[in-house]
Amino acid sequence: MFPHRTAMRQLLHRTPACPTSSWPSSTPHRVLPHPLAVPMYQALARFLTTPPPTSTGNPPSAIAPATPAPPTDVAVRVNHDLAPHALHLNEDLHGRTRIYALHGVPGTKSATETAADPTLQWTWHDEVGEGATAAAARRWSGGLLSMGRAMQTFRSTFLPVGYPDSVHPSYLRFHLWKFTETAAGSCIGVLCSQAMLAALGIGGHGGATDAAAAAGGAVAVRWILKDGLGEIMKLLFIERFASQFDARVKSWKLVGEVASVTGALVSLLTAIAPSPAWFLPLASVGGALRSIHFSVWAAVHTTIARIYARRGNVGDIVAKDEAQLSVAHMLGSGVGVAVIALWRHDAPFLFTCYAALAPLQLWCSVSMLREAHFDVLNDVKVALLAQEWRERSRAVTANPASDPAHIALPCAETLASRPEHGPLGEWLRASPNIPHLAPGLSVARLFGHPTTLASPASIIRGAPADARVAGRHLAQALHVLRHERYLVRHVPSRGGTVGIAYRSDATARDMVKSIFHAIVLQEQAARVGGGETVRAFDAAYAEVEAEFPRFWSDLGHSPHWNVTRVYFDDKGIRFQVGVPPGSDAGHGERRAVVDGTRKEME
């Protein structure tokens, strides 16, 4: 009836990702970003969901089904209450309701009244009604037609097609914080540019000395060198840490924002540098840190878009995100330019503005990451879910009468309440129940020195004692795990560490099983005193074989988790068993020698 309110209500209404929480209500593990957020949000929601009075003093009658359909971009539903002589369908289209009337449908009265073919008529919701109430409502809504069309344009420009059903439940909250964060960062960027230009003698009050330093193209040379050195530093950073971006999305997003704020501070220091010679190193470091921020965001943004795309609409989500961030960037840059042009642009004023904007940017980043509860699995979440499942399984075993078909697994928000849950859900706190996990290792690192589990030097250099220890553990792992696509080893250091190496054909199920195996192995090692024993290794694998099929089934039936991928710090290291170097493994017949038995591997 009221298109602007319908559209805005769809923007605000979200279905919580988990029944245990909904925004903006607080939870034990999440603090609301500001005490005014709740009353402001509730007041706006009440305004947008309350229709205006009509000429009779009562809200206009709505022609809609008794039970409203969930907000969708295009949702068609049959309306049997509108007129008994025809079949009616209501269609929600970009915040407005279109009503179709199909006359002459077999089985309706209109079909017996005419011999003509069925006819289809349609009209908008705000054009249908009876008497003075409908007329008043039509006059009131007619003045808002342009606003409804504006909302239509807004949705098609800034929101993914099919919003909100086509995206993750936390999409709106996440991107509202991202918009504010980007605006603050863009404003800081303007301040940095002003500081560096003033350091080069452009736009400042440096006098003849600065003017001479800027002559002869020196400004352009320094600026190009600054960008070039910054790009080199960014490449070194990417080479070292790029493999962690998928598994630690939130952590690296926060690292990128810290790098951006730090880089801005270093760039601002060029305005108070004691000598022009300081410009190049300061500007290069500042530019490198801000370049790292943009690179990290580009990497994690792809992962976030893939998580948010409920209908495979990754490209649409990325494009709409860019549209949103373009507006935020223009807004932040405009504010920064206005502040500099209308007030002051000396160094003390620039640092004062930075001191106000930098905490705002970081606060928005932290709030944004708190709102994001992803349903993808990484090594940390699999370990927490495995431990949670084992605890619930024991409770079910103790009470056989309550044995359910599937053990319910918690969602991401509930999982965050576990004491082992680390910052942002991507790290583990020290716990006697869950070991330190090191998935994706090479065989050399996995079976190297038992106190480090990190350096293959002892094997590579051929130390006889270490080579014998490594050979014994490798032979045992190959024997016990001859039917698996992974190898594990438990060492008692750091409260328990389990390293994992994956075979070249390992799947997501194998990765989940290897982490489940690590949890069981930690428990078995504690029972025998924490040492690396054959008995603990064999007992752990027997327990895994008995319990894992049900855990995998329960995980697959959980609506909260996507089991198609498992993310970890994957450097692409995989092993093959019994395939000699140089052999043609691409023609199908790969054979492995495991425990003296030739076994064909698919």
Classify the C-alpha dihedral 525-528-531-534 as positive or negative: negative
Residue 332 is part of a domain; what is its CATH number? 1.20.1250
Tokens, residue 387: 């431990």
42 within a domain of the structure (yes/no): yes
Give the chain's largest Cα–Cα span: 98
Are 349 and 437 contained in the same domain?
Answer: no
Are 385 and 345 contained in the same domain?
Answer: no
- pLDDT for residue 205: 47
Are 441 and 583 contained in the same domain?
Answer: yes
- pLDDT for residue 371: 84
pLDDT digits (tens, 9 = 90+) for 358-414: 999 999 999 998 888 788 888 999 999 999 999 988 888 777 766 677 888 988 888
Angle made by CA atoms 325, 330, 334, in degrees to the nearest 5: 150
C-alpha 598/C-alpha 77 separation (Å) is 61
Contact in structure between 198 and 204 (CB atoms under 8 Å)? yes
- pLDDT for residue 587: 42
- pLDDT for residue 93: 63
Are 255 and 403 contained in the same domain?
Answer: no
Are 175 and 78 contained in the same domain?
Answer: no
Residue 433, classed as helix, strand or coil, is: coil
Contact in structure between 371 and 176 (CB atoms under 8 Å)? no
The count of residues in the chain is 602
600 within a domain of the structure (yes/no): no
Residue 411, classed as helix, strand or coil, is: coil
pLDDT under 70: residue ranges of the chain: 1-88, 92-96, 103-118, 124-148, 202-222, 401-403, 449-469, 493-495, 529-533, 579-602
396 within a domain of the structure (yes/no): yes
Cα distance between the two ends of the chain: 61
- pLDDT for residue 531: 55
- pLDDT for residue 538: 87
- pLDDT for residue 41: 45
Are 424 and 386 contained in the same domain?
Answer: yes
Tokens, residue 198: 């003033």
Are 11 and 150 contained in the same domain?
Answer: yes
Last residue of a domain, one of 158, 187, 204: 158
356 within a domain of the structure (yes/no): yes
C-alpha 348/C-alpha 336 separation (Å) is 15
- Residue 100's domain comprises 3-158
- Identify the helix (H) or strand (E) that includes residue 259: helix 249-268
pTM: 0.68
- pLDDT for residue 86: 61
Are 54 and 179 contained in the same domain?
Answer: no
Are 329 and 204 contained in the same domain?
Answer: yes
Contacts of 333 (CB under 8 A, 6+ apart): 186, 187, 189, 190
- pLDDT for residue 18: 59
166 within a domain of the structure (yes/no): no
Are 563 and 487 contained in the same domain?
Answer: yes
Last residue of a domain, one of 126, 158, 190: 158
- pLDDT for residue 454: 41
pLDDT digits (tens, 9 = 90+) for 241-287: 888 888 888 889 999 999 999 999 999 998 888 887 888 888 888 88
* Beta strand 376-378 pairing with 436-438: unpaired
Contact in structure between 555 and 512 (CB atoms under 8 Å)? yes
164 within a domain of the structure (yes/no): no
Classify residue 582 as exposed, middle or buried by CB count within 10 Å of its CB (0-12, 13-18, 19+).
Answer: exposed
* Beta strand 87-93 pairing with 562-567: unpaired
- pLDDT for residue 384: 92
Domain count, the chain: 3
**Three state DSSP letters for 274-336:** CCHHHHHHHHHHHHHHHHHHHHHHHHHHHHHHHHHCCCCCHHHHHHHHHHHHHHHHHHHHHHH
Last residue of a domain, one of 134, 158, 182: 158
* Beta strand 497-502 pairing with 436-438: parallel
285 within a domain of the structure (yes/no): yes
- pLDDT for residue 432: 80
Are 263 and 384 contained in the same domain?
Answer: no
65 within a domain of the structure (yes/no): yes
**Three state DSSP letters for 168-226:** CCCHHHHHHHHHHHHHHHHHHHHHHHHHHHHHCCCCCCCCHHHHHHHHHHHHHHHHHHH
Are 188 and 143 contained in the same domain?
Answer: no
- pLDDT for residue 216: 44
